[in-house]
Chain A
Amino acid sequence: MEDFYREMIIERYKTPHFRGVLDPNDISYEDDNPSCGDHIQVDVRLDENNVVTEALFSGEGCAISQASADLLMESIIGKNLEDLKDLSKEDILENLGIELGPVRLKCALLPLKVLKAGVYGIGESEEIE
């Protein structure tokens, strides 16, 4: 567990690169993790081909959820909507580069959950994994 807080995670938590709000936006969604009070909002702008041009997150939470959100925003720029639907738990863990127990996994996955809910919310009705 000693290496749990890799320097990169702490750095991203303290000085996130993709923190903020986009208004106007094409996708905006927010949600909470009820067990810890973490709150994440994700705002995304798309071009005419449904490719992500800008992505920012806001909200509050632990280092894991915030770093996960920051890394996720970075990773989706240039991807199209269909790519976003394919994002999985493994992508998030790869971003963070650490192993997580079931409780902290929820922190790490909250940003993805919010992003996907936003993506599916714009007209598609497919089930979220």
Chain B
Amino acid sequence: MTPNKSTGFDVKKVREDFPILGRDVHPGIPLTYLDSAATSQKPNSVIDAMSAYYRDTNANIHRGIHQLAEEATYAYESARDRIADFINAPSSEELIFTRNTTEAINLVAFSWGRAFLKRGDLVLLSEMEHHSNLVPWQILASQLDLELEFIPVTPEGLLDLDTYSQQLKRGPKLLGITHMSNVLGTINPLKQILRDAKAAGAVTLVDGAQSVPHFSVDIQDFEADFYAFSAHKMCGPTGIGALYGKKEFLEKMPPFLGGGEMIKRVELRSFKTNDLPHKFEAGTPAIAEAVGFGAAVDYLLDLGMEAVETHERSLTGYAIEELSRIPDLHILGPDIEEKGGVVAFYLKDIHAHDVAQILDSKGIAIRAGHHCAQPLHTKFNLPATSRASLYLYNTKEEVDLLVEGIQKVKDIFA
């Protein structure tokens, strides 16, 4: 692929930033990594920032008065500032570090949910949610006797917005919705959805695990009350994610985990919580991971999120076009206009595990299973699907390898 003329994006150069892309998976068979929706690979700048932190800076933060502690605190807090800027959060005190998207959603369910929801309240989710935005609410529903309702997904893989309008009339207290489906690839019309939810009086929480890595996300544009995402899907390390929460909510919420750092003052029988965002960050946090998260955001900004999006759109369009030509292959989800770089598919009479296993023999990494969205698979009556997911370092040549690999799968099972 030649560099994009208008954005200057050069995928060949980008690939050089990711050392893992140069390895063989089996002897003589290079890696074709098409599983970035599960986790992305990491550029040198992120790996280096984290090891440099451990080599030169390592100390606990916010407590020590010594030089290393000052430097570590600065590194941690400056990462927070840059990540908050990355999603255009109004202030970095509204950006709480969590372990991942899952923990961010659990934080909201546990803290906000227990304080502000009561028996019989309605929580509105959708049928395309990842387990991480289903199970926390199921747990809470069983504890508080809440009602759960789900925005249906149409056969085309879109939210049924007519039904949604009707559901809003029932006065849900919370809307929990994914920005982009990790199976269908559907990018939901968030602005409209959140505006309508707000008009109906609902608090809104968005699962941004699949969106923030792939296109520019502006929190203030669609005014989510809570927005959760993970570093590891956007070139950053595992073990850290973020929850954006509106200050007015975070301030009223009780703490999530108790311990050091989240307190201002402790007595034997009582404590006073710390200011935001520390109130929600009990214990020593993932400091090196925060540094890596910050470096990941710097890397993405350096490439430009518009350039990343343009590259992925063109690649996704190509993948859909090429895969659609394969007889007996069915792609889930909407057309390219409403779809991000996630292409889940199934082959008639061939189980997804077998597809993935045979592709692996060609060095191609895809995901097989229900991708932590089992209810969605049940709805479409599929036990499992195969999923190729694309990111900024993928190429058309890799899509071609995928197509060849699927042909081999079909030959073996023919």
Contact = CB atoms under 8 A, between A and B. Distances in A.
Interface of A: 1-2, 4-5, 10, 14, 35-39, 60-65, 104, 107
Contacts of A14: 413
Contacts of B263: none
A37 B374 contact: yes
17 contacts: A1-B26, A4-B358, A5-B358, A10-B412, A36-B369, A36-B383, A37-B374, A38-B384, A60-B351, A60-B383, A61-B353, A62-B357, A63-B353, A64-B357, A65-B353, A104-B353, A104-B357
Contacts of B412: 5, 10
Nearest to A104: B357
A60 B357 CA distance: 17
Contacts of B370: 36-37
Contacts of B358: 4-5
Contacts of A104: 353, 357
A119 to B, nearest CB: 26
Nearest to A14: B413
Interface string B236-265: 000000000000000000000000000000
Given A1-B361, A4-B357, A5-B358, A61 B351 contact: yes
B352 A36 contact: yes
Q: How large is the interface on B (under 10, 10 to 19, 20 to 34, 35 or more residues)?
A: 10 to 19
Give me the 7 closest cross-chain CB pairs, A-B, nearest first: A62-B353, A62-B351, A37-B383, A1-B361, A37-B384, A36-B369, A63-B354
B99 interface: no
B368 interface: yes
A35 B367 CA distance: 11
Contacts of B352: 36, 62
Contacts of A61: 351, 353, 383
Contacts of B357: 1, 4-5, 62, 64, 104
A64 B353 CA distance: 9
A2 B384 CA distance: 23
B410 interface: no
Contacts of A62: 351-354, 357
A35 B360 CA distance: 18
A35 B38 CA distance: 14
Contacts of A107: 353
Given A10-B413, A62-B354, 8 more contacts: A1-B26, A1-B357, A1-B361, A4-B361, A61-B383, A62-B353, A62-B357, A64-B353
Nearest to A36: B369
Contact of A1 (B351, B360, B369, B384): B360
B369 A35 contact: yes
B377 interface: yes
Contacts of A63: 351, 353-354, 413
Nearest to B353: A62
Contacts of B360: 1
Interface string B353-389: 1100110110000001110001001000001100000
A1 B25 CA distance: 11
Contacts of B368: 36
Counting chain B CB atoms within 10 Å of each CB, the highest count among A35, A36, A37 belongs to: A37
Contacts of A39: 383
A38 B352 CA distance: 10
Nearest to B413: A10
Counting chain A CB atoms within 10 Å of each CB, the highest count among B26, B354, B368 belongs to: B354
Contacts of A5: 354, 357-358, 412
A33 B412 CA distance: 24
Contacts of A2: 361
Given A1-B360, A10-B413, A36 B354 contact: no
Contacts of A10: 412-413
A73 to B, nearest CB: 19
A38 B370 CA distance: 10
A107 B358 CA distance: 15
B354 A38 contact: no
Contacts of A37: 369-370, 374, 377, 383-384
A125 to B, nearest CB: 30
